[in-house]
Amino acid sequence: MDNPYVPVPMRVKMARFESDDRSLKTIDLEPVEGEIFDFMPGQFCEISILGKGEAPFGIASVPWEGILRFTINRAGVVTTAIHQLEEGDVVGVRGPLGNWYPVDLFEGKNIVIVSGGFAFTTLRSLIKYLLKNRERFGKITLVYGARRPDLLLYRDELDEWKKSGEMDMYITIDKPVEGWEGYVGFVPQVLEQASPSPENAYLVMCGPPAMIKFTLPVIEKLGFKPETVFTSLERRMKCGIGKCGRCNIGKYYVCKDGPVFSLDQLNKLPKEY
Amino acid sequence: MKRIEKNKFYEKLNDLIGEYRVFAPFGDRYRYIEDVSEIRFDGLLTKMSPKAHFLPQEEELFRWDERENIKVKDVNDKYIVFGMRPCEVRALSLLDLVFNTEKFPDPYYINRRKNTIIISIACNEPLETCFCTSFGYGPFTKGDADLMLVDMGDYFLGEGDENILDLFGFTDSEEDYKELKEKAESKIKRIEIQGIPEKLEQIRETDFFKKITQRCITCGTCTFLCPTCYCFDIQDRNRLNGGKRVRVWDSCMFKIYTQETSGHNPRYEEYRRVRQRIMHKFAYYPSLYNQYGCVGCGRCVTYCPVNFDIREVIREAGGYNG
């Protein structure tokens, strides 16, 4: 029997700080032996540093890149240990865990992606997936904001995507900064400006609680029905496989039944997230 | 029906120690015994439930050496758990639903479950706090036990697996336990649980849970003693040349259980944690598995330091119109 508690060793292929304040670090992992496992955008892994513990992180890459990418905010014991990793170091990985963005449901529809800060990670995975299968989807709109330009993740790719013209992009920062040519303002306002149509469309949103709180009314005003809005939740997790008990919201376990939920599902659950 | 003299049964059980590790009542808890003379029944139920065999309070998941080579302990022990009560056997069948799943089956739990012979004893004299019959079974239900014994004074009646009956040397008997069973069942006070899952969902956002939480100090005693509570934490223990990763019992009553690194805690307020415990057993479990997550053993009622009585809570919920 496969043991779901035992991490698989993976080597750090690339490690770089993502933001000027070094609070965000991106690591690319490749298996020490064999090929990378298959996974879908929105799934997550438990990254394990022996002696420190494990923590769950959304996967920012897609399988055909041959690596697992994570962008990690330094916050506690495990993330601090991860921030000290250098290229060549070995960590443990358990995954892929959880469900994924319902890309089959999205087929033939317009997709609106709304994000703030470093919650953008699994949305990079989603965007890579959508662009790879571009002809299967309608218009794609991205509204993505951060406090400062350096806190926007994957800026090189944002530029590439912008140039390619495959998406309508609204990249915004909170306050004006010299040299910044994108939008200025909070995500909810920029989303309202972008004003994507809810017709034949699905909306995916990931961001900090404050962004979500102020974005929800805008989404409602734009006319998106709760069953067409998807978000990815975070909770304290340990096992990641629906056993240890702590990440449940009502009868659902975020690790096993999520992390992706529709707004319609969440509206019926206790507000415990 | 089959029967065996008690001294003959215990003699055989003693012979089996060695081939099997035997987990048996030892005062207020169970422990692995070296000799049957250690077995001590203090009343009907031990304070600590025998779930500790299937889900040890601390269990090694794996260890690593100084070069970070990971090793999972190879466990091939065979076990007998002797003395479990029907409620505790039923609790196992509820734990199976969580741990013996199609996706991500739990190898540690399944290994112990598979390699354990369960010998239960029916309850001739149920306690004041027993309410097992509320859940569609009773003090004489064999359930998932391999062998159920009925205490007849000098001898046991037994029913169950033929091989195990033969192993112990049970002989045929004309007797049955019908009368004892009826007498025991008649003593048990049932609680009304019809419609409770739906009712709890209805009153989820009312003041009901805030009110009942005024009686609770969220100490977590109930969750550690409960035979169906299974929540655990995973921790790393460092040693000089490596370390080990263990899982340890945890409790939804503790604030830190859901505390996130950012400081955010979705179940910060005590009433949310109490609501979680009650609803997990009486609403979420039924919704997920069509079974209540409570077996009515009454431990949480008996040992709560502030007399929080889950039977009363369910009754009050049933009649709550706030």
Which residues in chain A belong to E strands, given as ranges?
A: 8-17, 24-31, 44-49, 53-58, 68-73, 90-97, 110-116, 140-146, 168-173, 183-184, 201-206, 229-232, 248-249, 252-253, 260-262
Query: Does residue B9 sit in the same domain as residue B134?
Result: yes
Task: Looking at the complex, report in whole angstroms how far the Cα of residue B96 sits from the nearest Cα belonging to chain A.
Answer: 11
A162 touches chain B (CB under 8 A): no
Flag if B230 and A239 touch (Cβ within 8 Å). Answer: no
What's the CATH code of the domain at A177? 3.40.50.80
Identify the domain boundary among B143, B160, B187: B187
% of chain B at pLDDT higher than 90: 97
d(CA A246, CA B107): 20
Nearest Cα neighbor of B282 from A250, A129, A137, A235 is A250
Res. B139: pLDDT tops 80: yes
Q: How confident is the model at residue A273 (pLDDT cuts 50, 70, 90)?
A: confident
Q: Is the pLDDT of residue A1 over 90?
A: no
Same domain, A152 and A116: yes
- Asked whether residue A92 falls in the same domain as residue A112, the answer is no
3-state helix, strand, coil in chain A (%, to 5): 30, 30, 40
Q: What is the pTM of this model?
A: 0.94
Residue A192 lies in a domain: yes
Q: In this complex, which of B68, B98, B283 lies closest to A243 when CB atoms are compared?
A: B98
Query: What contacts A192, CB < 8 A, 6 or more positions away?
Result: A218, A221, A222
Residues A218 and A112 occupy one common structural domain: yes
HSE-up of residue A38 (Cα within 13 Å, Cβ side): 0
Q: Are A37 and A117 in a shared domain?
A: no
Check if B1 contacts A (Cβ < 8 Å).
Answer: no
Tell me the residue range of the domain where A60 lies.
8-97
Which of B62, B252, B284 faces A250 most closely, judged by CB atoms?
B284
Q: Which residues contact B110 (CB under 8 A, 6 or more apart)?
A: A1, B99, B100
Verify that B255 and B281 share a domain, yes or no: yes
Residue A36 shares a structural domain with residue A138:
no
Q: What is the mean predicted confidence (pLDDT) over A174-201?
A: 95
Residues B210 and B75 in one domain: no
Whether B138 and B280 share a structural domain? no
Domain count, chain B: 2
Confidence (pLDDT) at B4: 97
pLDDT band for position B75 (cuts 50, 70, 90): confident
Average pLDDT in chain A: 96
Half-sphere exposure of A228 (CA within 13 A, CB side): 20
Do both A137 and A193 map to the same domain? Answer: yes
Is B27:B89 a contact under the CB 8 Å cutoff?
no
Cα→Cα distances A218→A116, B151, B166, Å: 15, 69, 72
Backbone angles phi, psi at A134, to 5 degrees: -50, -40
CA pair distance A242, A237, nearest whole angstrom: 9
The token pair at A30 is 């490749």
Average pLDDT over residues A68-96: 97
Identify whether residues A79 and A129 lie together within a single domain.
no
- Contact call for residues B201 and B283 (beta carbons, < 8 A): yes
pLDDT digits (tens, 9 = 90+) for A123-139: 999 999 999 999 999 99
Residues B152 and B37 grouped into a single domain: yes
pLDDT in tens, B278-298: 999 999 999 999 999 999 999
Which residues, in sequence order, are CB contacts of B31 under 8 Å at separation 6+?
A: B23, B24, B38
Are both B200 and B275 inside the same structural domain?
yes
Q: Which residue has the higher pLDDT, A273 or B156?
A: B156
Phi, psi of A139 (to 5 degrees): -70, 140
Return the residue in A2, A12, A248, A249 with the most chain B beta carbons within 10 A, the one to mutate for interface testing: A248
Same domain, B170 and B222: no
Q: Check CB contact of A52 with chain B, cutoff 8 Å.
A: yes
Instruction: Judge whether A245 lies within some domain.
Output: no
| pLDDT (0 to 100) of residue B81 | 98
Same domain, A121 and A84: no
User: ipTM of this model?
Assistant: 0.92
Over residues A21-41, the mean pLDDT reads: 96
Domain count for chain A, please give it: 2
The answer to whether residue A256 sits within a structural domain is: no
Confidence of residue B321 (pLDDT cuts 50, 70, 90): confident
Domain final position from B139, B159, B187: B187
- Of B60, B86, B84, nearest to B243 (Cα)? B60
Average pLDDT over residues B251-278: 95
Domain of B23 in residue numbering reads as: 2-187
My answer on whether B118 and B200 are in the same domain is no
The answer, for B204 touching chain A at a CB cutoff of 8 Å, is: yes
Give tens-digit pLDDT for A254-267. Answer: 999 999 999 999 99
- Based on the fold, state whether residues B176 and B277 are members of the same structural domain: no
Which of B187, B213, B247 marks a domain boundary? B187
pLDDT greater than 80 at residue B322? no
Q: In terms of domains, do A130 and A68 share one? A: no
User: Chain B within 8 Å of A273 (Cβ-Cβ)?
Assistant: yes
Residue A2 pLDDT greater than 90, yes or no: no
Does A179 lie in the same domain as A125?
Answer: yes
Same domain membership, residue B304 and residue B166: no
Please state, in angstroms and rounded to a whole number, the distance separating the CA atoms of residues B182 and B9.
26
Cβ(B131)–Cβ(B313) below 8 Å:
no
Average pLDDT of the residues in A13-36:
95
Final residue of a structural domain among A97, A121, A139 = A97
State whether B174 and B253 are in the same domain: no
Q: Is residue A128 part of a domain?
A: yes
3-state secondary structure chain B: CEEEEHHHHHHHHHHHECCEEEEEEEECEEEEECCHHHCEECCCCCCCCCHHHHCCCEEEEEEECCCCCEECCCCCCCEEEEEECHHHHHHHHHHHHHHCCCCCCCHHHHHHHHCEEEEEECCCCCCCCCCHHHHCCCCCCCCCCCEEEEECCCEEEEEECHHHHHHHCCEECCCCCHHHHHHHHHHCCCCCCCCHHHHHHHCCCCCHHHHHHCCCCCCCHHHHHCCCCCCEEEEEEEECCEEEEEEEECCCCCHHHHCCCCCCCCCCCHHHHHHHHHHHHHHHHHHHHCCCCCCCCCHHHHHCCCCCCHHHHHHHHHCCCC
On whether both B26 and B47 belong to a single domain, the answer is yes
The number of C-beta contacts closer than 8 angstroms across A and B is: 104
Question: Is residue A170 included in any domain, yes or no?
Answer: yes
Compute the mean pLDDT over every residue in chain B, rounded to the nearest whole number: 96
Residue B119 above 90 pLDDT?
A: yes
Same domain, A68 and A168: no
A203 forms beta bridges with A112, A229
What local confidence, expressed as pLDDT, does residue A209 receive? 86
Both A154 and A216 in one domain: the answer is: yes
B261 touches chain A (CB under 8 A): yes
What CATH number does residue A85 fall under? Answer: 2.40.30.10
- Cα–Cα distance, B300 to B308 (Å, whole number): 8
Contact B104 A50 (CB under 8 A): no
Who's near B190: CB < 8 A, 6+ residues apart? Answer: B131, B133, B134
